[in-house]
Structure 1
Amino acid sequence: IRPDFSEGKNESSVVGFGLAKVVDSKNPKYPIGALVIAPSGWEEYSHIFEPQYLNDVITLDGSTNPKVPLSAYNGVLGVPGFTVWDSLNSVGDLKTGETIYISSAAGTLGQLAGQLAKRKGLRVIGSAGSDEKVAFLKNELGFDAAFNYKTQDKRTALTEAVGPSGLDIYYDLVGDDTTEVVLDLLNPH
């Protein structure tokens, strides 16, 4: 997903999607007080002047659960969550019984990918950069296997974790030399 953002000026803030409350508006679709997820600057107040950005505004009023913290709309229920959901379901085409390996599995996207893959019935393997994170993946998130890429040889650890069934999906969140190891373990599809 690559939104069409115009290039900022040197004095402008970084633009991304954020959870916001409308404090002033001349647009009846976005009344004062409305909660929205919108392309906005990373700043205390943002102004949306360009009409094409209004197509990307999502109004949350009436759809939020009071038991869910608003911060969830910046994570699991926001752009990160949508990115993982769409990439796994549209591109990954997950099938029960397959094996997925997730690099950087203890990060936001990796945690989401692992949990969604488990719910689809996949065998989930992850890597992380500390023993504490590896324990978190296995004990808290239910990953089938995980290893510390900083203290273990990636090829050995991943080969042992994958086993004879091979690897079906690689969810790459790092873009390092792990790809070379994974290519040797992938099943033909």
Structure 2
Amino acid sequence: MQYPQPISKLIEGFTKLPGIGPKTAARLAFYILDMNEDDVMDFAKALMNAKRELTYCSVCHHITDTDPCRICQDKDRDPSVICVVQDSKDVIAMEKMKEFGGKYHVLHGAISPVDGVGPEDIYVPDLIKRLQDETIQELIIATNPNIEGEATAMYISRLVKPTGMKVSRIAHGLPVGGDLEYADEVTLSKAIEGRRQL
């Protein structure tokens, strides 16, 4: 059955979002139709405001509504430690933990030769330029534990280590509450590799 044009466009718009297939898109579109007009207008305004008012921090490239971002402006944070992450969502995840008191650098991707993404396509050159600041003593690489994340971590490490700066990689292994029998070989290998003395 052919949908009327306005709902077809709405469904098409939802299918452009990651993880949203045609059925879910149709369900969301019909849900929007059932909402009252004020709620739909608030939702539309929130979408437009997010698109118009958010930008990337000129220092760390984290998503922000002020430039530099609040983390880069925070005088209580340790400027000598920078944590490198792939995405702004990773900064938010790290901040929820409330354990890291340094600053961040968001790459907006990972090196992936298969996809044609090299170091110059993400914010690696900006990171190297930023590391020329002598107050920075340590770089923590917190890229994802997959092939692209590991390649990115190795690349950055090889660039930075000759400078004498301390470079570390976040540990990988078993999640708390996980069972050994369900872990894959790579996860178990990383858990053994990252073991610590008790």
TM-score of the aligned structures, taking structure 2 as reference length: 0.31
Larger of the two Rg values belongs to structure: 2
Hey, which of these two has a bigger chunk of strand by percent? 1
